[in-house]
C-alpha cells in the first residue's frame, strides 16, 4: 500500500504537471490568436488554476461542515471550458479531428488528477467526521434498476450511510412480510396495525425492531407526559396553597398592624388626654392661687381701710367726747358764771377766757368732724374698689371657664385630627403594602405625610421628630426629609386630612 500510495502520488503529480503544461501552451497560443496580447500568458493560469482554487474552496467548506454545491458546479464549468479551449486550439474539429482529440486529452489528465484528489479528501473527511456514505453498487443498478433506485432513495432520504445496512433492513422487512403473510392467510394487510408497523414505517428507514418498539415507546412517552402533567398540577397546587398562605399571613400582619396602630392611637390619645388634664389642673391651680392672692390682697386692702376707718371713728369719738366734756365744762362754767354774775371783773375775765376756750374747742370739734368725713369717704372708696375687685374676679372666672371650654374643644379637634391622620396613615400603609415598597420607600412616604400634615414645609418638621418616628439617626432623618421633599415636589399626595 505504501508503494501504491507513492506511485499514485508521483504519477498523479506528473500527469497533472504534463496536463497543465500542455494546456497552458495550447491556451496561450489560443489567447494570442484571439487578440489577448500579453494577457495570453496569464489567461491559461486563470482558467486551470481556477479549477484547483474552486475545488479547494469546495473541499474547505466541506471540511468545515458548510458545503456550497455552486463551487463544484463552477469548477466543472471551468473544466468544460479548458477542455473546449484546448480542443479549439487545434483548429476546426472537422478539419483536424485527431489534433482536436489530442489537445482535449491534455487537460483531461489534469482534471482527472484534481478530481481524484478531491474524491480522496472528501472520503477522508467523511470518515473522520463519521458521515461516510456508501453508494449503491453499479452491478445492482444494472441487475435491478428499480429496486436499486428505491434503495438509493431510502438511503438518501433517511440518512442511511452504509449499503450493507440498507440491504440488511430490506432483508428484515422482506422476511417479516413473508412471516405476516404466512400467519394471516397470505395477506399481511390482515394483520393488526401494530404488527404492520415495520412495513408501514418502511419509508422512514426504521428497522423491524425499531418499528415494533414504537407502541411501547409511545406508551412510555404518554406515561412520562402524564407524570409531568401530574407533577405540574401538584406544583401549581402547591403554588396556589403558598399564595393562599402568603395572603393569610399578609392579612394577619395587616390585622396586627391595624391593632398596633389602634393601640398606638389609643396610647397617644390617653397621653394627650393626660397632658391636657395636667395642663388644665396646673392652669386651675395657678388660677386658684392667683385668685387667692388677689383675694388676700383685697382683704388686706379692706382690712387696712377698715383699720383706717376704725381709727377715724375712734378719733371722731374722742373728739366728740372731748367736745362733750368741753360742753359740760362750758355748761358748768355758764352755771357758775350765772351764779357768779355778781362776781367781779375777775370772774368776767374768767368767763371770757372760758368762752375763748369753748370757741377753740368748737373749732377743734369741727376739724375732727371734717377728718371723720374724710375717713368715711376713704372707707366708701375702699368698698367701691372691693366691689370692682369682685367684678374682676367674676370676669376672670368666666374667662377661665371660656378658656377651659376652648381648650376642651381644641383637645377634641386635635383628637379628631389624630384619628383622621391615623386613618390616612393606615390607608397609606395598605397602599404601600399593595405596592410592595421597600422599607426605605415606606419611610420616605411616612416623612412626606408628616411634612404634608405640618403644612407642606419640610423645615417645619424637625429632624428629631423624624428620628423619633422612624427610630433612626439624625443623619438618616435628614436624608429621609430631603427624599420626602423631592417626593412631594414630584406630586405625591396621600390625601391626608387635618383640622
Q: What are the mean pLDDT values of the chain's consecutive 10-residue runs (499 residues total)?
A: 69 65 74 79 80 79 77 80 75 63 66 71 63 71 87 81 82 85 80 80 79 84 92 92 90 86 81 77 65 66 67 70 66 69 63 67 65 66 74 77 77 73 71 78 87 82 86 86 88 58
- Do 15 and 51 fall into the same domain? yes
Looking at the domain assignment, is residue 427 inside a domain?
no
| Rounded Cα distance, 226 and 214, in Å | 18
Whether residue 184 sits in one domain with residue 87: no
Q: Are 58 and 67 in contact (CB under 8 A)?
A: yes
DSSP 461: S
What is the number of domains present in the chain?
Answer: 4
Any domain includes 429? no
Cα angle for residues 151, 192, 147 (degrees, 5° grid): 15
Are 382 and 268 part of one and the same domain?
yes
Tell which residue, 107, 104, 108, 110, has the closest CA to residue 90. Answer: 104
Query: Are residues 128 and 104 located together in one domain of the fold?
Result: yes
CB 72 within 8 A of CB 80: no
Do 160 and 114 sit in the same domain of this protein?
no
Asked whether residue 82 is assigned to any structural domain, the reply reads: yes
Phi, psi (rounded to 5 degrees) for 340: -110, 25
189 plus 95 within the same structural domain: no
Mark whether 80 and 202 lie in a shared domain: no
Phi, psi of 195 (to 5 degrees): -75, -25
Q: How far is CA 212 from CA 172, 201, 216, 217, 372, in A?
A: 12, 10, 8, 9, 150
In a domain, 306, yes or no: yes
Residue 243 lies in a domain: no
Tell me, yes or no, whether 169 and 266 share the same domain: no
Render 226-267 in DSSP notation, one character per residue. Answer: HHHHHHHHHHHHHHHHHHHHHHHHHHHHHHHHHHHHHHHHHH
Residue 418 lies in a domain: no
Do 67 and 162 lie in one domain? The reply is no
**Are 111 and 79 within 8 A, CB to CB?**
yes
> Which of left, alpha, beta for 179 (phi over 0: left; psi -120 to 50: alpha)?
alpha
What is the C-alpha separation between 405 and 213, in angstroms, rounded? 98
Domain limit, last residue, from 132, 153, 185: 132
Do 464 and 360 lie in one domain? The reply is: no
Instruction: Check whether residue 105 and residue 169 sit in a common domain.
Output: no
Q: Give the domain-ending residue among 132, 154, 174.
A: 132
Residue 252, in any domain of the structure: no
Cα-based distances in Å from 196 to 3, 17, 170, 214, 251: 54, 60, 15, 12, 63
Residue 421 counted as domain residue = no
Which residue range(s) make up the domain with 288? 258-404
pLDDT the model gives residue 237: 92
CA dist., res. 20 & res. 12, Å (int): 12
Name every residue whose Cβ is closer than 8 Å to that of residue 237 and which is 6 or more positions away in sequence.
none
Same domain, 389 and 450: no
Query: Which residue has 430490506 as its cell numbers?
Result: 170
pLDDT, position 234: 92
C-alpha pair distances (Å), 148 with each of 137, 152, 169, 475: 9, 6, 14, 91
How far is residue 418's CA from residue 74's CA, in Å, rounded to a whole number?
92
Amino acid at each position: 500500500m505504501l508503494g501504491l500510495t507513492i506511485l499514485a502520488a508521483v504519477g498523479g503529480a506528473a500527469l497533472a504537471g504534463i496536463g497543465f503544461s500542455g494546456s497552458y501552451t495550447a491556451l496561450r497560443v489560443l489567447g494570442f490568436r484571439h487578440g489577448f496580447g500579453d494577457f495570453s500568458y496569464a489567461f491559461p493560469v486563470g482558467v486551470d488554476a481556477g479549477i484547483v482554487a474552486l475545488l479547494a474552496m469546495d473541499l474547505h467548506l466541506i471540511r468545515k461542515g458548510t458545503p456550497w454545491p455552486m463551487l463544484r458546479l463552477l469548477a466543472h464549468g471551468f473544466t468544460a471550458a479548458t477542455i473546449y479551449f484546448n480542443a479549439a486550439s487545434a483548429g476546426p474539429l472537422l478539419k483536424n479531428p485527431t489534433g482536436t482529440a489530442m489537445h482535449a486529452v491534455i487537460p483531461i489528465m489534469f482534471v482527472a488528477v484534481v478530481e481524484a484528489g478531491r474524491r480522496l479528501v472528501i472520503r477522508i473527511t467523511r470518515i473522520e467526521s463519521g458521515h461516510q456514505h456508501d453508494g449503491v453498487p453499479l452491478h445492482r443498478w444494472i441487475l435491478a434498476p428499480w429496486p436499486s433506485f428505491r434503495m438509493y432513495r431510502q438511503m438518501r432520504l433517511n440518512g442511511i450511510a452504509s449499503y450493507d445496512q440498507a440491504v440488511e433492513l430490506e432483508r428484515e422487512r422482506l422476511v417479516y412480510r413473508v412471516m405476516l403473510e404466512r400467519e394471516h392467510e397470505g395477506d399481511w394487510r390482515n394483520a393488526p396495525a401494530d404488527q404492520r408497523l415495520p412495513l408501514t414505517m418502511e419509508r422512514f428507514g426504521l428497522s423491524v425492531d425499531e418499528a415494533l418498539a414504537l407502541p411501547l415507546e409511545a406508551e412510555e412517552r404518554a406515561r412520562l407526559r402524564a407524570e409531568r402533567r401530574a407533577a405540574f398540577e401538584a406544583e401549581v397546587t402547591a403554588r396556589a396553597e403558598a399564595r393562599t398562605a402568603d395572603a393569610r399571613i399578609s392579612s394577619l400582619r395587616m390585622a396586627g398592624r391595624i391593632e398596633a396602630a389602634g393601640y398606638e392611637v389609643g396610647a397617644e390619645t390617653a397621653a394627650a388626654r393626660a397632658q391636657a388634664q395636667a395642663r388644665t389642673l396646673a392652669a386651675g391651680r395657678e388660677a386658684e392661687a392667683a385668685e387667692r392672692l388677689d383675694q388676700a390682697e383685697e382683704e388686706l386692702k379692706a382690712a387696712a381701710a377698715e383699720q383706717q376707718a376704725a381709727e377715724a371713728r375712734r378719733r371722731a369719738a374722742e373728739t366728740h367726747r372731748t367736745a362733750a366734756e368741753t360742753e359740760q365744762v362750758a355748761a358748768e362754767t355758764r352755771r357758775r358764771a350765772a351764779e357768779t354774775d355778781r362776781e367781779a371783773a375777775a370772774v368776767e375775765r374768767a368767763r371770757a377766757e372760758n368762752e375763748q376756750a369753748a370757741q377753740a374747742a368748737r373749732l377743734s370739734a369741727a376739724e375732727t368732724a371734717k377728718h371723720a368725713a374724710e375717713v368715711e369717704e376713704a372707707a366708701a372708696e375702699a368698698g367701691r374698689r372691693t366691689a370692682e375687685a369682685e367684678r374682676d374676679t367674676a370676669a376672670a372666672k368666666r374667662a377661665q371657664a371660656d378658656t377651659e371650654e376652648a381648650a376642651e374643644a381644641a383637645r377634641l379637634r386635635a383628637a379628631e385630627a389624630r384619628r383622621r391622620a391615623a386613618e390616612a396613615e393606615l390607608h397609606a400603609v395598605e397602599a404601600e403594602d399593595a405596592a410592595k415598597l421597600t422599607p426605605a420607600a415606606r419611610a420616605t412616604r411616612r416623612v412626606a405625610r408628616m411634612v404634608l400634615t405640618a403644612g407642606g414645609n419640610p423645615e417645619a418638621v424637625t429632624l428629631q421628630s423624624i428620628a423619633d418616628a422612624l427610630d433612626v439617626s439624625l443623619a438618616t432623618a435628614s436624608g429621609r426629609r430631603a427624599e420626602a421633599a423631592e417626593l412631594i415636589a414630584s406630586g405625591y399626595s396621600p390625601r391626608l386630612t387635618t383640622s
